[in-house]
Structure formats: C-alpha cells, structure tokens
Amino acid sequence: MGNYVTMSLETHLFFGRIMKEHALFLYAGFPCGETKCRQQADFFREEFEDGLRRAVQLSNGIVSSGVLSSGEIVTEFTLKAERQTEKLSGISIDSEITKAEKQLRAGNQMRFSRGIMMNVRMLNRRMLQLINGLIEFKEQILREIADCRLYTTNYPLLIEHILREARLYRATILELERRGGIVPKDFREMEQFWNQIMMEHALFIRGLLDPTECELIETADGFAKDYCRLLEEAKEQDLRTMDELTRKTIETTQEYQKFKTAGTEGITDCKIRSIILPLLADHVLREANHYLRILADHGIGRD
C-alpha cells in the first residue's frame, strides 16, 4: 500500500494543479455573457483547488525527492505567475497552496497508517468525481463550439488537448484504485502521448505570440515540426530502434524545456509580446518537466 499512497499523492500534486488551471483557462476564455459556462468553469477551479490543497496537506514526508525536485509541481516562476494572472484576469488563485508546496519534504516511508490510506482513498474518489465532471464539461464545450453555439478564445484543439490530459489523470487514478499501484505502461505509447502534447504546446505558443515576435514564433514552429517528426518516426520503429528514438526525444525535450523556461521568464518579466497568461507559460513548462522526469524514470535519463 506504500506505492498506492505515494503514487496517488504524486499524481494529484501534478495533475490536480493542471486540472484547476485548465478550469481557470476555460473561465478566462469565455465572454462575460456566457454566465453558465463561466460559473461551471469556476466551480471546477475551486473544487480542484480544494482537492490540491488536501493533497498537499497529506504529502509532506511521503512523496519522492525526484518528483519534488523535477519542477513538475511548482517552478521558480509559479508564485509570480499566479499573482500576475490573478491581477490580469480577476480570477481568484490561492497562492498559499504554492507556498506550501515549496515547503514539502520528501520521504521514503514503506509503511503507512490505516488513517493515511483511508484519507488518500477518500481523496482519490473525490478527485475521480471531479475529473468525470470536468471531462463531461470539456466534451460539452467541444460540441457547442463545433455547432457554432459557443464562443471562446481557446482553440478547439486546446480543448481536445486538455481533454486528453484529463482522461490520462482519470485512467491513472482508476488503476491505482483497482490495483493499488500502476502497472508499467507501454513505453512507446507513453512517449507518443507526451510527444503529441509537446507538439501541441508549440503550436499554441506559436499562435498566442504577438506577430512581431518573429524569432520566437520561428523557434516554436521548429519545435512543433521536431515533435511531428518524432511522432511519424515512432510509427515506423521496431523495439530494437526505440531507444535511439527516445534519445532524440530526450534531447528535443531538454532543448524545449530551456525554451519554455526562457519564455516563462520573459512573459512574467513582461519582456515578450503575447496574449499568453503568465500561468499558462508556467503550466506548459511544468508539463515539460514532468515529461523529462518520466523519461528519466525509464532508465535513459537526463544529462
């Protein structure tokens, strides 16, 4: 049950924050007249924020040092990005959670009390209910956009993108609940999933930069093409050549992480012209950090 507790909490620390920010980005993208959609998005933002707060309370001295040091939970920019986004959007963000996450200590306990296991099980079930609701909400948004019944400043592809991430979160928690742990997934499938996510990040960044940011647009476009090539190559690889492809993926993602870090710093320092919310820049950086940690956990690792 040690794996069950640790992996559940690590999953919530990463994906719980991602989901609450998805809800915030959805809320920020709706016109003022879309009262019902804005209320639904804000409901999920508040609920996931509360779930994340609970996950942080349970995590101290339990989660791994690798997760805490990876930059997937918070980065050096997260607190500043939250404060700026709250000011710019008028949407409330509880930055005390971020401060608490920065103070989390790692642990290596193998045995846990019945109380902590019950608390984690309750959290898993609560978050599953929220994930199901958020998935349904995102699917509804996509249908209404397709039928020209809803306007949002978020791309339809972005809605599909965040829907896939929510489904992965749900699948992970369901597996933890059914098996008490996570069975190693097909590495090729995992790599393709995250390469697609990284490619789409580059497409979104390219589309949200001001047209005058020619160099950054060209760089983002280059990363989109790099990941597109990796996805195409993966379709043609056999197991004997997958390691070489993974090395290419790691090299590309390491460079991409540097680009996202510089971009987040530039946006939070107001040195880049764009319509990218500061928290969105930090959000995609954390996902790159998460992906690099996953790649490292599969034995090939970082530099």
CATH T-level assignment (fold) for domain 1-183:
Ferritin (1.20.1260)
pLDDT tens by residue, 53-64: 999 999 999 999
Q: Are 205 and 263 in contact, with CB atoms under 8 Å apart?
A: yes
Higher per-residue pLDDT: 1 or 176: 176
Q: pLDDT confidence of 181, banded at 50, 70, 90?
A: confident
Find the DSSP H helices in 30-73.
35-59, 65-69
pLDDT at 300: 52
Expressed in angstroms, the distance from the first to the final Cα of the chain is 33
pLDDT tens by residue, 136-160: 999 999 999 999 999 999 999 999 9
The two structure tokens encoding residue 77: 């920019």
Q: What is the Cα–Cα distance from 237 to 235, expressed in whole angstroms?
A: 6
Q: pLDDT confidence of 65, banded at 50, 70, 90?
A: very high
pTM score of the predicted model: 0.95
Same fold, 1-183 and 186-303: yes
Q: What is the Cα–Cα distance from 23 to 45, expressed in whole angstroms?
A: 5
Kindly list the domain boundaries of the chain, sorted by start residue.
1-183, 186-303
CATH of domain 186-303: 1.20.1260.120
Average pLDDT, the chain: 94
pLDDT at 297: 82
CA distances from 220 to 170, 213, 216, 256 (A): 30, 11, 6, 9
